Structure 1
C-alpha cells in the first residue's frame, strides 16, 4: 500500500481554528481589519468582526441564495443565515465540515473539493472569503459562472501575489494566493465586470504580525526547553536532535526555525509581496 501524504494544510487550518476559538470565543479563520486598533490577541475578535462587517457591505440588499466556498467553520454562514439568506457551504475538511453543521445548522454543507461540487439549483452569489487562493485559478471564476443565475454575482476577498513576489528572498516569504496579474488576465476573458474593488492590504497586515508573535512565543518555549536539556540532560537532547534530523529535512528545519525564531513574516513584507483585495463581480 502506498504511503499517504500528510495533509498539512488541513492540519494547520484545524489547529488555527482551535486556537482562534480559545482566544476569541469564535471560530473565525480569516484576517482582521486593524485600522486604528492595537494589534494584540485581545483585539483579534474585534478586528475579525470589522472584517466581516466590511465584507457584508458587498452583499445584495435583499435575501438571496449564496454558495459559501471554503466556508471555514460556518461562522460567516451563520451570520448570512441570520440576515435571511439561503446558504450552502462547500468545504473539504472533515473537521471543518462538522463545525459548519454545528455553527450553521440551517446551511446545507457539502464536504468536498470545490472542483468536484455539482449544484442542483443556481446561486445568486458565489462567495470566496480567503478561499479563492486554494482553488486552481482555472477552476475558480469559470466554474462559478456555470452555477450563477443570469444576474448573479461573485465576491472574492483574498490575498494575491504582487510582481515582487517572484524575486523575494526566501526568508521573506509571507502570504500567498494567485498572482494578481494572472488573475486579472483570466478575469478579462470572463463575462464579468468589476462593480466594487478595494485594496485592504495595510488594514489586514496586522494579522500577519500577530500570527508571527504567536509563533515566536512557541519558539521561545522550545528554546527554553532546549537550553534546559542541554545543561542537564545532554544525552537526551542529543537523542532528540538525532530523531528530529531523521524525521525532518534540513530545508523544513530551516523554514521552521524562520517561523518560530525570526520576524520575517512582518506587515512590511506582507504589504510588499501581497495585495489583499475585496472585489465584487457582476455577471454581464
Structure 2
C-alpha cells in the first residue's frame, strides 16, 4: 500500500469506534435488536446488547475454542472470554488488531484477511458476526470446514441481498452481502447441517434510521458552518470547497451529500433490499 495514500477506512473506523465508545461505553459498530426499545440514539447500547445476547443464545455448550472472524474491536471476544471460552480473533487491519489486543488481551489476535490467515485448528466454533459478507462466497465456509472439529459449528449473523434487491446507480443502497439465492445454493453443496435459521431483518432495521439521524445532525452542523462562512468568510469558504473538489470525486461528493443531508438510507429501504439472518450450522459427520 502507498504510505502516502489517505486511508479513509481506518479514519472512518477510528471515528466510528470513538463515537460508539462515547455513546455506549463500548466499541461496537454492529447492528442492534430494537424489539421493545424506543428508536433513538440513547438506546443504541441496549439494542446492541440485545443483539449480542441473541447471538450468544446460539452458542453450543462450552467451554469452546472459538474463532471470531472479523472480530471488530474485540468487544465480542472480550464477552466470550468472560463466559469461559478460548478465543482467537482474525481482523484485516492493524488498527482493529490493536483495539482487539486492548479490549480482549486474553485473545490471540491474527492481523490478516481471513482468506490469507495462517490458522491452526481445531476449533469448536467459527463465528461470523457481520463479517461473512466481506469474504468471497466460495472461500469463507470451506476454510472454516478445514479448521473445525468433526462436530464443530459455524454461526453466521449477517446481511444478505434479498431477491427483491434493486441496485441504484445513483444512490448507495444500504446494507449489503451475498445474494441470498446464491448463498443458499452454495450452502447446499457444503457438508453442513442447518441447525437453525432466523430472519431478524425487521428487528435490526431501525439501526439504519438511528445511524441516518446521526449523519443528518452532522450534515446540519456542517451546513450551518458553510452558510456562516459564505457570509463572513467567503474566501475561506471558496478555499474549503476547492479542497473538497480536489480530494473527492463528483461521485464521492454525491454519496457524501446523500449520507449527510438526505434521508434515503432508511429502515424501510434496508428491509426492501436485504435479509438479515442468524444461522447455526454444524459440520456433517463424514
Q: Which range, TM-score by smaller chain?
A: over 0.9
Cα distance change of structure 1 residues 172 and 246 upon mapping to structure 2, 3 Å threshold: closer
- What does 1:24-43 align with in structure 2 at a 5 Å threshold? 24-43=24-43
- What does 1:163-174 align with in structure 2 at a 5 Å threshold? 163-168=163-168, 170-171=170-171, 173-174=173-174
CA distance in 2, matches of 1:12, 1:136: 23
Report if aligned partners of 1:168, 1:273 keep a CA contact under 8 Å in 2: no
CA distance in 2, matches of 1:83, 1:27: 19
Q: Which has the higher helix share?
A: 1
Deviation at 1:246, TM superposition (A): 2.0
- What does 1:63-212 align with in structure 2 at a 5 Å threshold? 63-168=63-168, 170-171=170-171, 173-212=173-212
Which residue in the other structure is 1:214 paired with?
Answer: 214
CA distance in 2, matches of 1:254, 1:80: 41
Matched residue SS, 1:81: helix
Cα distance change of structure 1 residues 7 and 235 upon mapping to structure 2, 3 Å threshold: closer
Deviation at 1:68, TM superposition (A): 0.4
Q: More deviation in 123-132 or 238-247? A: 238-247
TM-score, normalised via structure 2 length: 0.94
Deviation at 1:121, TM superposition (A): 2.8
Report if aligned partners of 2:193, 2:281 keep a CA contact under 8 Å in 1: yes
Which residue in the other structure is 1:21 paired with?
Answer: 21
The reply to whether residue 51 of structure 1 matches residue 48 of structure 2 is no
Cα distance change of structure 1 residues 152 and 29 upon mapping to structure 2, 3 Å threshold: same
Which runs of no fewer than 5 residues in structure 1 stay unpaired?
A: none
Which residue in the other structure is 2:9 paired with?
Answer: 9
Report if aligned partners of 1:161, 1:274 keep a CA contact under 8 Å in 2: yes
Report if aligned partners of 1:172, 1:269 keep a CA contact under 8 Å in 2: no
TM-score, normalised via structure 1 length: 0.95
Cα distance change of structure 1 residues 8 and 186 upon mapping to structure 2, 3 Å threshold: farther
Q: More deviation in 242-251 or 224-233? A: 242-251
Which residue in the other structure is 1:251 paired with?
Answer: 251
Superposed CA deviations along residues 154-196 of structure 1, whole A, max 9, x for unmatched, are 0000011112324446436111111111111111110012111
Q: More deviation in 253-262 or 114-123? A: 114-123
Matched residue SS, 1:164: coil
Query: What is the number of equivalent residue pairs in this alignment?
Result: 284
CA distance in 1, matches of 2:55, 2:68: 13
